Amino acid sequence: MSKVVEISPTTRHEGHSKLVLKVNDDGIIERGDWLSITPVRGVEKLAIGKTMEQVPKIASRVCGICPIAHTLAGVEAMEASIGCEIPEDAKLLRYILQCANRMHSHAIHNILSLPDMYLPGTDVKINPFTKEEPVRSVALRIQRLREIGQTIGEIVGGEAIHPSNPRVGGMYKNITPRAKAKIYDLAKESRVLAQEQMEFMIAIFRNYQKRDWAEVGGVEVPIPKDLGYHNQGYMATAPVYGSSSLDETPMWFPERFTEVRPWDWYMGEVEIDEADPNYPIGGTTPVGTKAWPQMEACTGVPLYDGQPVEVGPRARQAIFKNYDEKGTIGLQIARQMEFPETAYGIIDALDALDTSGSVLADEIPQGDGSLGWAANEAPRGTDVHLAKVKDGRVQYYGMLVPTTWNFPTCSRALTGAPWRLAEVVMRGYDPCVSCATHMLVIDEDKRLVAQKLIQ
Binding positions:
44, 63, 66, 399, 432, 435, 438
Contacts of 227 (CB under 8 A, 6+ apart): 327, 328, 329, 417, 421, 424, 425
Which is nearest to 197 in space by CA: 151, 140, 239, 149? 140
Which residues have C-beta within 8 Å of that of residue 230, sequence separation ≥ 6? 310, 326, 409, 410, 412, 413, 415
Annotated binding site for Mg(2+): 44, 399, 438
The DSSP 8-state label assigned to residue 235 in this structure reads -
Alpha-helical segments (H) within 83-134:
88-113
Angstrom distance (rounded) from CA 271 to CA 308? 27
Q: Which DSSP category does 295 fall into? A: H
User: Residue 240 carries which DSSP code?
Assistant: S
Q: Which residues of 105-129 are buried (b: 16+ CB within 10 A; e: fewer)?
A: bbbbbbbbbbebbbeeeeeeebebe
| Residue 10 · residue 17 · CB < 8 Å | yes
H helices of 211-338, in order, are 293-296, 313-321, 327-337
Q: Are β-strands 309-310 and 233-234 bridged in parallel, bridged antiparallel, or unpaired?
A: parallel
Q: How far apart are CA 111 and CA 90, in angstroms?
A: 33
Known binding site for Fe cation: residues? 66, 435
Q: What is the DSSP code (8-state) at residue 74? A: H
Annotated binding site for Ni(2+): 63, 66, 432
Q: Taking CA 244 as the corner, what is the angle to CA 242 and CA 245, rounded to the nearest 5 degrees?
A: 160
